């Protein structure tokens, strides 16, 4: 007799024990004696009969007896336990990887490059069937449908075979793969794009005007800037000649667009590189660096005091009009004023000439800047501010806010938010110390609000570290932070524009690429625009000041496209739900294929389960 802790099983559990022991018996019975086989078969038949009779009490007794008998007779070795565990975990991981790479995947946003649409610590569901059917753990697709790609849609892509550092990763700490990135898809193959006024104008491969698709009303707060820095990437020879690293090849969109060379007599020659793969075939090519896809329409900006203008600015202003502060604008990168200087790597090399202009800022301008301020997400500890996610907290390089309590914050269009648990944002009351306006604080948060590094403050002429702040004209008004800070009829701006017109390379409003009748100036776009190569896509971050995107690593190959976000799961609030993008179709060919394949696999699994669980038993 066996003694059991008598707790009634459900008939379902008794049936489960019956089939588990039966399957083991079928595999192992060859090693059993005749008496053991007889005992097993009698118990199996008895349990089968009581289950059919729905005798729960008797079935429980027999199930416990059978379970005990099976464990005693078919005791697994440690090696067998390990083998079964490894196989089970391996199969589960294999299924999880296939599902994540081919069907759908939970995704957490690591950086602020897509703010405000997607913020740090947002959790999303990403569909991997938005554009096609992916090949797991590799680039390429079993099937791809280009017509499903939407301009201004958000998409996910792998960094494999792209010029992105530190791109390797492991799925579930086991399977080698490449990191995935999320950006907004702006340009499709064959599109030619031109940047003006924080917007993008363009034509597609069939010469259709696609400008309306590139600036949707619901995305009107997003600015588009065609560069990160005027010389984002520069390659030189490994070793200098006479101490000079020359020639210097300058890259934009990860393409070599210009070359600077020190010629005889110390003269610096510059020329554009012919790039048919990113320029309209047969069209006259830009002769000046700043003509590329509208770069001349934008300036890099910082706010200075009068003394800082005198000491550190290259503007060369002899007589500054009285003002609270001054806005320095760096613009018009060119070959004419190219110079020899040392870069951030210490290389003495030829550099582009950069024009510098200054416009006075009065109290109302600074208040407009403060009221439209946006920053990176930042944290304050004991008064010292550092960018959220920063691994370096050297207090020598972080700004100090004496009156601000510890915590994490961010400004967006003048509204201050406190960052709470798991990235939940809470709007801060107006009496918070960070809302306290002063000209000094407005200038500090403008100049350091992206990097939060005091090395970006003005401290030397020809400074290489400048804030990631940009200015541009739109319809005659001068914009900062996505807002018109200077009205076109304002005396200060009118005077500034007149002064700039007197210069050979002044910062003036050249206007949008449209004709007098309001139609798109296709000739200008074809001449100076950015042509998206075949099977490639232009990816830009919504937060241009903090985004490493196609401006840095180049176009995204079609084979690298993995899918698109379909739902924001976390945090709760106004952004919960479908992301801000043109809607992708809920059902498409890749989606239907994957769902059908999943249904077939589940059906086969259920059929096998039913087949193995049928009665009567086959002994």
Q: How far, in Å, CA of 205 to CA of 188, rounded?
A: 9
Using one digit for the tens of pLDDT, what is the confidence trace for 314-368?
887 778 899 999 999 999 999 999 999 999 899 999 999 999 999 999 999 999 9
**pLDDT score at 97:** 84
Q: How far, in Å, CA of 90 to CA of 503, rounded?
A: 69
H/E run at residue 7: none
Using one digit for the tens of pLDDT, what is the confidence trace for 186-227?
999 999 999 999 999 999 999 999 999 999 999 999 999 999
Q: Which residues are CB-neighbours of 508 under 8 A, at least 6 positions away? A: 473, 497, 500, 501
**pLDDT score at 2:** 46
Q: How far, in Å, CA of 504 to CA of 501, rounded?
A: 8
Strand partners, 417: 410, 427
Phi/psi of residue 295, nearest 5 degrees: -55, -35
CA 387 from centre of chain: 17
Residues of the chain with pLDDT under 50: 1-4
Nearest to 581 by CA among 152, 191, 173: 152
Nearest to 352 by CA among 367, 330, 372, 371: 330
What Å distances lie between residue 141 and 132, 153, 190, 561, 590, CA to CA?
Answer: 7, 20, 21, 9, 11
Which tokens go with 574? 């106004």
Q: How far, in Å, CA of 80 to CA of 28, rounded?
A: 14
**pLDDT score at 336:** 94
Angle, CA of 309, 314 and 316, to the nearest 5°: 75
- In 224-377, DSSP assigns E strands to 233-235, 248-252, 255-262, 268-272, 298-304, 325-342, 348-361
Q: Which residues are CB-neighbours of 85 under 8 A, at least 6 positions away? A: none
Phi/psi of residue 470, nearest 5 degrees: -130, 150
Q: Which residues are CB-neighbours of 275 under 8 A, at least 6 positions away? A: 255, 256, 257
**pLDDT score at 393:** 67
Q: How far, in Å, CA of 385 to CA of 394, rounded?
A: 10
Q: How far, in Å, CA of 560 to CA of 4, rounded?
A: 60
Distant-in-sequence contacts of 416-423, Cβ < 8 A, 24+ apart: 419/377, 419/388, 422/121, 422/570, 422/571, 423/119, 423/120, 423/121, 423/122, 423/570, 423/571
**pLDDT score at 28:** 83
What pTM did the predictor assign? 0.88
Strand partners, 171: 175
Nearest to 407 by CA among 395, 392, 424, 430: 424
Q: Which residues are CB-neighbours of 71 under 8 A, at least 6 positions away? A: none
Half-sphere exposure of 410 (CA within 13 A, CB side): 19
The answer to whether the beta carbons of residues 547 and 541 sit under 8 Å apart is yes
């Amino acid at each position: 007799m066996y003694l059991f802790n008598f707790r009634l099983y459900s008939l379902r559990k008794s049936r489960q024990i019956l089939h588990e022991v039966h399957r083991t018996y079928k595999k192992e019975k060859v090693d059993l004696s005749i008496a053991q086989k007889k005992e097993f078969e009698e118990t199996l038949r008895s349990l089968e009969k009581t289950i059919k009779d729905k005798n729960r009490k008797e079935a429980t007794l027999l199930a416990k007896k059978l379970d005990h008998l099976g464990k005693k007779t078919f005791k697994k070795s440690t090696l067998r336990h390990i083998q079964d565990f490894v196989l089970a975990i391996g199969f589960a991981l294999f299924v999880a990887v296939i599902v994540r790479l081919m069907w759908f995947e939970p995704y957490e946003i690591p950086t602020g490059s897509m703010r405000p649409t997607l913020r740090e610590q947002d959790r999303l569901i990403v569909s991997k069937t938005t554009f096609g059917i992916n090949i797991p753990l590799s680039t390429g697709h079993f099937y791809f449908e280009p017509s499903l790609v939407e301009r201004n849609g958000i998409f996910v892509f792998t960094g494999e075979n792209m010029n992105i550092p530190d791109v390797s990763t492991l799925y579930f700490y086991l399977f080698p793969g490449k990191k995935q990135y999320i950006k907004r898809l702006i340009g499709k193959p064959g599109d030619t794009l031109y940047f003006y006024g924080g917007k993008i104008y363009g034509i597609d491969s069939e010469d259709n005007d696609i400008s309306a698709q590139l600036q949707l009303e619901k995305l009107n707060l997003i600015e588009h800037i065609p560069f990160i820095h005027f010389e984002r990437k520069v390659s030189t020879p490994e070793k200098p000649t006479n101490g000079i690293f020359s020639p210097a090849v300058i890259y934009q969109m990860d393409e070599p667009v210009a070359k600077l060379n020190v010629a005889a007599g110390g003269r610096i020659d510059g020329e554009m590189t012919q790039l048919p793969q990113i320029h309209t075939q047969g069209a006259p090519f830009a002769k000046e660096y700043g003509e590329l896809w509208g770069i001349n329409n934008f300036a890099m900006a910082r706010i200075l005091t009068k003394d800082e203008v005198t000491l550190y600015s290259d503007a060369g202003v002899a007589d500054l009009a009285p003002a609270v502060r001054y806005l320095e604008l760096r613009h018009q990168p060119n070959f004419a004023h190219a110079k020899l200087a040392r870069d951030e790597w210490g290389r003495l090399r030829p550099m582009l000439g950069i024009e510098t202009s200054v416009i006075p800022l009065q109290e109302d301008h600074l208040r407009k800047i403060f009221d439209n301020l946006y920053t990176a997400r930042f944290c304050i500890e004991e008064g010292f501010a550092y960018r959220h996610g920063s691994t370096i907290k050297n207090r020598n390089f972080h700004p100090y806010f004496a009156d601000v309590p510890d915590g994490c914050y961010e400004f967006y269009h003048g509204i201050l938010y406190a960052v709470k648990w798991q990235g939940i944002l809470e709007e801060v009351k107006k009496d918070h110390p960070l809302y306290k306006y002063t000209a000094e604080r407005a200038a500090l948060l403008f100049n350091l609000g992206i990097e939060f590094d005091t090395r970006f403050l003005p401290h030397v002429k020809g400074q290489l570290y400048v804030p990631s702040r940009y200015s541009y004209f739109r319809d005659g008004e001068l914009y900062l932070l996505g807002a018109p800070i200077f009205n076109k009829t304002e005396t200060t701006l009118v005077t500034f524009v007149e002064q700039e017109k007197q210069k050979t390379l002044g910062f003036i409003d050249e206007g949008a690429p449209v004709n007098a009748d309001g139609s798109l100036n296709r000739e200008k776009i074809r001449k100076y625009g950015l042509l998206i190569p075949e099977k490639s896509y232009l990816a830009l971050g919504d937060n241009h000041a903090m985004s490493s995107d196609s401006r840095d690593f180049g176009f995204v190959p079609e084979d690298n496209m993995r899918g698109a976000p379909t739902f924001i799961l976390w945090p709760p609030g106004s952004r919960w739900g479908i992301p801000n993008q043109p809607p992708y179709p809920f059902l498409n060919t890749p989606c239907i294929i994957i769902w059908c394949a999943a249904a077939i696999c589940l059906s086969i699994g259920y059929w096998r389960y039913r087949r193995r669980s049928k009665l009567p038993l086959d002994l």
